[in-house]
Structure 1
Amino acid sequence: MIHLVLGGARSGKSRFAENWVAQMTASIPQACPPVYIATATIGNDDEMANRIARHQGDRRTSALAWITLETPLALAECLTRIDKANQVILVDCLTLYLTNHLLRASLNTTAETLRRMSATNLASHDWQTEKNHLLAVLPTLKSHVVLVSNEVGSGIVPMGELSREFVDQAGWLNQAIAALADEVSLVVAGLPLMLKTAINS
């Protein structure tokens, strides 16, 4: 079972996804502890550090015995490595995972390479390899997987080449995963709207 959960900032998508994991775990006989794959990185961002600490605190006080894995880049490899039956995995979130790849490629680009190829194009090339790996892995998993992602296409087109590339790539990633997912939910103001269910997938 693959469940994609979409929503804007502060829409309640992560809370909805965590509740979905709790319900799914409770329904599985002899279920393994659920796995939380966190894609966020702190860097030099104090506000992000506070967000991550808050999420960690929530998981510590949760009734679920979460196993947390910090995986900013190698998501497909991580899913393959930990996959097993009777397990539920939460990935939060796909858009930070995408951001990590785009920024990593851009920051690692040398001045000489930049003269020959834009940082955005290089980032996109590296990202396509990782994205294709993820899309190939997901349908093969024995685990139940819920993936959280931001819906970023409802606002204005952003300024800046890398920002526009991010919006494009996030939209294409969401579409690709929605196509292979069994269920897709859109969360708005804490309220989920089922866009695709296992019955009609």
Structure 2
Amino acid sequence: MILLITGGARSGKSGYAEARTLAVPGVPQYIATAQARDAEMSARIAAHQARRGAPWRDHEVPLELVAALAQTDGAGPRLVDCLTLWLANLMEAGRDWRAEGLALAKALGSQQSPVILVTNEVGMGIVPDNALARAYRDAAGWLNQTVAEAADEVHFLVSGLPLKVK
């Protein structure tokens, strides 16, 4: 089972994804793409870890997401949080984000254990005023569409309420 959970910032995606992951038998695997580059991000990461608690096995994976999925397959349900941070990491590292996105979509098709992925819907606001922000928005839209096509289900969260769209 591949489930993509999308929505706006602070829409309840992570909490919903965690609950869905815990509903699947096995030891939950948390594949985190965030990097603690400043105090605010460190605090966010700590809050997520505290909320999850003991049963989770954490894997910090800022770039090598496809390899992490291969390494954790069979270990229990996996929660990837989040694709948009992974994309930002890829772009910052100068990696071919489109090739990496295609590799992810292909890898999702061969997973034995469930994968729940969180992503942000970044294309519903105003058009950004600078080229880098527009390029990121466009890349995130492409990545979300690519993963949504590979997913068995897609849920969109609005104010903490999930809507099944696929």
Query: Match for residue 36 of structure 1?
Result: 30
Percent of aligned pairs sharing the same letter: 49
Scaled by the length of structure 1, what TM-score is found?
A: 0.79
Question: Post-superposition shift, 1:103?
Answer: 1.3
TM superposition shift of 1:191: 0.3
Which amino acid is 1:38 matched to?
A
Q: Aligned pair count? A: 166
Distance, in Å, in 1 between the alignment partners of 2:6 and 2:69 is: 20
Counterpart mapping for 1:6-85 below 5 A = 6-25=6-25, 31=26, 33-43=27-37, 45-60=38-53, 65-84=55-74
* Structure 1: stretches of 5+ with no match in the other structure: 26-30, 106-122, 197-201
Q: Give 3-state SS (helix, strand or coil) of 1:24's partner.
A: coil
Cα deviation, residue 168, structure 1: 0.4
- Once the two structures are TM-superposed, the CA of residue 181 in structure 1 deviates from its matched residue by 0.7
Q: Whole-Å Cα distance in 2 between the matches of residues 155 and 127 of structure 1?
A: 23
C-alpha distance in 2 between matches for 1:181 and 1:128: 17
Q: Is the contact made by 2:122 and 2:141 (CA closer than 8 Å) also made in structure 1?
A: yes
Larger radius of gyration: 1
| Structure 2 equivalent of residue 120 of structure 1 | none
Among 56, 67, 79, the residue aligned to 1:90: 79
3-state secondary structure, aligned to 1:184: strand
* 1:168 has 2:138 as partner: yes
Whole-Å separation in 2 of the counterparts to 1:79 and 1:142: 10
- Indicate the residue corresponding to 2:89 in structure 1: 100
List structure 1 runs of 4+ shifted beyond 2 angstroms: none
Deviation (angstroms), 1:129: 2.2
What secondary structure does 2:90 align onto?
Answer: helix
Post-superposition CA distance 1:12-47 (Å, at most 9, x none): 01111111111123xxxxx3x11000000012x211
CA distance in 2, matches of 1:132, 1:37: 19
CA distance, structure 2, for counterparts of residue 132 and residue 194 of structure 1? 24
